[in-house]
Amino acid sequence: FNPCFMMSRPHLLLRSSRLLLAPRHRTRPMVCRIFSTKKPDWMVQAEMEAIAATNARAAKQGTANDQMMSKLQHEMNGEIMSNAVKLEVKLKQMIQKCNQTRPSAVDKRGRMVYNAIRKKALATRQDLITQREAAGMTTDAAGVVETAFPIPPQV
């Protein structure tokens, strides 16, 4: 029994030894699929970057790899600068805490608290110096940071 053959001749179907007339059209419901023609944003962006890379290669301005590396370098520089700014804010807060706790550093416990905060401020300042040097901001990063962010002396 070949159902495809019977579907090609739908006007005659045998069922339980009786002759039945079947309709000449398909009785199976049609499946309608709706596809969106709009591309996702990431796909459009990727295509635009691919076109730009192809055009750059044609113009001898660099390959797609060069463009990707320059984007990566740009992102890394942004992260380095962001970290430097965060460290500056943290260092300002630590210096402010030092200045606030210095008057209360008359007894042993007060001096220990003050010196602990000062030690953290010195470590944060060193981190900021390292971060600025990594960003290539200045050749004398230590001198610039130490004059811009003076830490009170030890008690």
Range 3-27 average pLDDT: 51
- What is the length of the chain? 155
The Cβ-side half-sphere exposure at 133, using a 13 Å CA radius, reads 12
Structure pTM? Answer: 0.56
- Tell me how far the alpha carbon of residue 46 is from its chain's centroid: 16
State yes or no: pLDDT of 57 exceeds 70: no
Range 49-63 average pLDDT: 73
Q: Please, what is the average pLDDT of the chain? A: 78
94-139 pLDDT, tens digit per residue, is: 999 999 999 988 999 999 999 999 999 999 999 999 988 888 877 7
Q: Please tell me the distance from the alpha carbon of residue 27 to that of residue 91, in angstroms, as a whole number.
A: 77
The predicted structure's pLDDT at residue 16: 47
Residue ranges of alpha helices (H) inside the chain are 3-8, 41-58, 64-101, 108-135, 141-148
